[in-house]
Structure 1
Amino acid sequence: MTVVEQRYRAVLAVEQGEPRCHVAAQFDVSRQTLSRLLRPERRPGRRCGRTGAFRNTQG
């Protein structure tokens, strides 16, 4: 599993109701990293940063 796949699955697990601390341990990432991945501005297709531009949703 690539790092991108690992992070994607970790985010999905939290969104499905798993506690962040359990998901972080399961996927071997820190709780802080998991929280950063869950921020709206880090999600594809969302507005980001000061520019208000949309993030690239491709690849």
Structure 2
Amino acid sequence: MARKITPLNDTQIRKAKPEDSPLRDGNGLLLVITSNSKLWRFRYERPFTKKRNDLSIGLTLMFL
């Protein structure tokens, strides 16, 4: 049986560091963190070819 993943909350996302990357939000949604940005990716499988693809959803720049 698959392990249940609890959705990320706002506090977890704000406090996440690059070494924690990637954080999984469930159903193929990932938060990838680099030294200066946070990027949401949706990982899915194409129905006919069965190939795994990543779709970048948004980019959040972090300037310190």
TM-score w.r.t. length of structure 1: 0.28
Structure with the larger helix share? 1
TM-score w.r.t. length of structure 2: 0.27
Structure with the larger strand share? 2
Instruction: Please tell me whether Structure 1 or Structure 2 has the larger radius of gyration of its CA atoms.
Output: 2
